[in-house]
Each structure stands twice: as C-alpha cells, then as structure tokens.
C-alpha cells in the first residue's frame, strides 16, 4: 500500500480523487498553502501546511494543481526527493509508468485531453476579439483602453486618482471570491457604482485583456483567454463602450509582460507620481509596500495605515474615516494597496478632493524585477504574495526600523 500525500484541496483535487487507485493507495493527508484550509478535514482526511511533510513518512506527494512547477519547487525546498513528487497535470507521457498503481492512467489521459481541448476553445472563442483590436472591425465590441504610458502620464500631469479593475474585481461584482476578499453584496454594489458614475479628477483602469493579447507572456495571455471565454459578457454588462478607460496594468508592468525591456522605464516613470510628495500608504498588514527597496526613496515623506490583509472591506468605513482625517493639500498623495477595497477607496477619496492611486501589487512587481524573475513568480520574504504557493504565509515580525516608524495607524 502506497502512503500518499495530496497537495491541493480544490477542484483539481476532485479530479485526482476520481482517478486514484484506491486499492493500492492510502491517502494519509492533504497539503495546502491556504491557512484557512489547514487543520480541517477534506474527504475525511486532515489538511496540513506543506512544511508538515518534513515530519511525515510517505511514498509520494501527488500535486493536484495545474500550477505544479512552483509547488514542486516548494516541496524540493523542504528536501522532498524529486522521485517522490508526482504532478498530476505534468503531461509527460514517458513518465506515466511512475504513476501506475497510484493513478488510473486512462483517467489522467482523459483529463489531459480535456484541458487541451479547453485551451483550443479559448483560442477559438477569443480570436475575433484579438484580431479585431488590430484591424479595428466595427462589428466587434471592444472597450477603449489607453496605453500604460498614457495612463501614467495623465496621472502625473493632472494629479488624477485611479481605481483599477481586473478579473478579480469583476469576480467580486458577480459574487465570486477574489483572492483578498470573500463575496460581499455591498462591495459588489460599490464596485458597480465606481464603473458607471464618473467623478471629476478620477479615472477607471481596465485590464488590457479584451482584444489583442500579444503584449502578454503566453501563459498569462492563455489565462486571460480563459477568463474571457467564461466571463466576457459578464464584464461587458458593466463596461461603457462609449467611455475612455485607462490601463489597469500600470501595477503589473513586469511579470506578465512579454517584452520586459520596457519595465525599467515604466518603473522610473511611475515613481514620478509620488516624487517629492507626502505619501500615505493604505495597505494590508503584510503588504509592506516599498519597504526594503528603493521604490519610495524619492517621496517627500511616507506614512502608513495598516489594514486587514484579507477581508479589508469589513473595516471600510473606519479606513475611509481615518484617511479623511488628513488635511487636504496639493502635496498629499494616497497610495492604495488593498485589493478590491482600494478600488472603492480611491473613488471615495477622489469625491472628497484627495488624490488616491490604486496601485496594489506594484511593489511586488518591482521586487520581481529587481530579482530578474522570468519564468515563475516567487515568494518575497516578509511580504504578502497571494499569487504564489506559500506567499500568504508571512511572519508578523518585520524588523525594518524605517518601516515601523512610518506606521501611524493600524486598523486590524
């Protein structure tokens, strides 16, 4: 009987369980990076943090995730031998012999073919939109989205506030969980309001994913093709095709871009937004925007308001009231890194006469840029990274005296 740990407790894990060789496998536990899942039972078996595997005796760890590369690296970092790591979605046919007795091969091959057909479907569904944005076909509806450079330039020149919408914000609108925030009816209604009710001095940024995707790295282009396959019409319900939008990718100018040679210039240009300004950062407790790097070195001053890393909208009124205690002046700038809560906060602060730039994730992009990260996004020690396995497990200790002295309020 093979003693097996399964890494992952999501929908992919259900596929794995459907094809497990039950007569030859004893599932002794599940591993998951989500703190909320650790300590619970999944199919009657305990869910452990990944590092627990160090203390356990097992024959194999079966990775139940399509994003198996970073998980493989994580397990290797714990000292797990490569031959004991079995990614279910690796699609290496010559390795299937290793899986015999663990997984029913025909079921795994079926799942492989199904995913390949889904990839083809993404291309077929999206091809008219990708071509239309190049040929400017009138029959295809595409939102008007300004370039990254145009967006940054206008924020600097006109001191504009910006709220950004990616697929996570539209998930919230439609009642689906986004990485930072459980579905919330009031948040959903507020996100709709920001999209449809313009405010002077405030702009809305959309992710540039509705037409041509050649500016994105292939795996991210494929990811957004899948988003469009499922949710394009949902997005279009709230997007005004007669309105000019700005580019939400101002906060993701490195990791997902195909041409990374432009990133240095974009980082330098974006830093001009807070050049010499009195900056107030409103961020998650473990975000630590600009801490430990040079991103904010050109700011006149920096203060921080710390908020919950997840579910911040529950404290929204307190967060807004705390921000509004600051006296308005032309030198004051709010930098917001607080998930979909920041999208609404930038809008409300703009209505009250403040400049607020929703630019969460920009600091992590800068950290990846400094490290020259290419293929896979990585954990940044001491900072919350929700897109990397284990990146949400951040220590509360952060012994940076400069950062600690900048904290003026904690709304936790």
Distance CA 170, CA 34 (A): 22
The DSSP H or E segment spanning 47 is strand 45-48
Mean pLDDT computed over 60-88: 91
**DSSP summary character for residue 257:** B
Helix, strand, coil distribution of the chain in percent, nearest 5: 40, 20, 40
3-state SS class at 271: helix
Structure tokens at 369: 């840029």
pLDDT tens digits for 176-187? 876 667 889 999
Torsion sign over Cα 207, 119, 176, 393: negative
Question: What is the per-residue pLDDT for 200?
Answer: 96
Q: How far apart are the first and last CA of the chain?
A: 47
pLDDT-derived band of residue 127, with 50, 70 and 90 as boundaries?
confident
- On whether the CB atoms of residues 145 and 206 are closer than 8 A, the answer is yes
CB < 8 Å & 24+ apart, contacts of 40-48 = 42/9, 42/13, 43/17, 47/9
Whether residue 291 is predicted with pLDDT greater than 90 in this model: the reply is yes
- Could you tell me which of 290, 127, 90 has the C-alpha nearest to residue 221? 127
Phi-psi region of 334 (alpha: psi -120 to 50; beta: other; left: phi over 0): beta
pLDDT in tens, 240-271: 999 999 999 999 999 999 999 999 999 999 99
- Number of other CB atoms surrounding residue 122 within 10 Å: 20
Retrieve residue 238's tokens.
């709230």
User: No. of H helices and E strands in the chain?
Assistant: 13, 15
**pLDDT computed for residue 178 by the predictor:** 64
Task: Read off φ and ψ for residue 394, nearest 5 degrees.
Answer: -115, 135
CA distances from 379 to 34, 85, 293, 318, 390 (A): 14, 20, 15, 31, 7
For residue 18, give the 3-state DSSP assignment: helix
Average confidence score pLDDT of the chain: 90
CA triple 59-64-65, angle to 5 deg: 135
Q: What is the spatial distance between Cα 354 and Cα 281, in angstroms, rounded to a whole number?
A: 13
Q: Phi and psi for 323 in degrees, rounded to 5?
A: -65, -40
**C-alpha span between 217 and 212 (Å, rounded):** 12
Rounded CA-CA distance 42/228 in Å is: 31
Residue 377 CB contacts under 8 Å (≥ 6 apart), including other chains: 70, 255, 368, 385, 387, 388
| Paired sense of beta strands 301-307 and 407-410, if any | parallel
Summarize pLDDT for 136-175 with one digit per residue, the tens: 556 678 999 999 999 999 999 999 999 999 999 999 999 9
For tokens 């627990």, the residue is 52
Q: What is the pLDDT of residue 354?
A: 98
* pTM, two decimal places: 0.73
Q: What is the pLDDT of residue 95?
A: 64
The model's pLDDT over 37-68, given as tens digits with 9 standing for 90+, comes to 999 999 999 999 999 999 999 999 999 988 88
């Amino acid at each position: 009987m093979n003693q097996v740990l399964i890494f992952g407790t999501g929908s992919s894990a259900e596929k794995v369980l459907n094809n497990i060789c039950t007569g030859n496998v004893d599932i002794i536990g599940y591993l998951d990076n989500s703190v909320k899942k650790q300590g619970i039972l999944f199919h009657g078996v305990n869910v452990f943090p990944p590092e627990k595997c160090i203390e356990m005796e097992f024959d194999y760890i079966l990775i139940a995730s399509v994003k198996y590369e970073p998980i493989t690296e994580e397990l290797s970092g714990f000292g797990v031998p490569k031959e004991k790591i079995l990614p279910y979605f690796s699609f290496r046919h010559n390795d299937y012999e290793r899986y015999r007795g663990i997984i029913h091969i025909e079921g795994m091959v079926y799942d492989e073919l199904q995913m390949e057909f889904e990839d083809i479907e993404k291309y077929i569904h999206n091809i008219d939109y990708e071509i239309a944005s190049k040929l400017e076909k009138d029959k295809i509806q595409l939102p008007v989205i300004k370039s990254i450079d145009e967006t940054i330039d206008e924020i600097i020149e006109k001191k504009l506030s910006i709220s950004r919408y990616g697929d996570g914000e539209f998930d919230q609108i439609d009642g689906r969980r986004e990485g930072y925030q459980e579905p919330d009816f009031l948040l959903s209604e507020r996100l709709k309001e920001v999209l449809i009710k313009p405010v002077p001095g405030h702009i809305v940024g959309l992710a540039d994913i509705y037409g041509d995707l050649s500016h994105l790295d292939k795996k991210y282009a494929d990811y957004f093709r899948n988003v469009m396959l499922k949710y394009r019409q949902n997005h279009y319900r709230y997007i005004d095709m007669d309105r000019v939008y700005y580019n939400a990718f101002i906060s993701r100018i490195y990791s997902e871009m195909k041409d990374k040679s432009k990133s240095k210039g974009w980082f330098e240009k974006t830093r001009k937004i807070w050049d010499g300004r009195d900056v107030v950062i409103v961020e998650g407790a473990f975000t630590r925007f600009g801490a430990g790097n040079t991103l904010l070195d050109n700011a006149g001053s920096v203060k921080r308001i710390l908020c919950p890393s997840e579910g911040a909208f529950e404290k929204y009124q307190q967060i807004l009231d705390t921000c509004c205690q600051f006296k308005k002046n032309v030198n004051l700038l709010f930098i917001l890194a607080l998930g979909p809560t920041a999208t609404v906060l930038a809008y409300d602060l703009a209505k009250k006469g403040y400049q607020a730039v929703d630019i969460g994730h920009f600091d992590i992009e800068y950290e990846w840029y400094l490290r020259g990260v290419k293929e896979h996004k990585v954990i940044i020690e001491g900072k919350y990274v929700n897109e990397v396995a284990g990146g949400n497990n951040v220590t509360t200790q952060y012994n940076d005296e400069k950062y600690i002295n900048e904290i003026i309020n904690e709304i936790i």
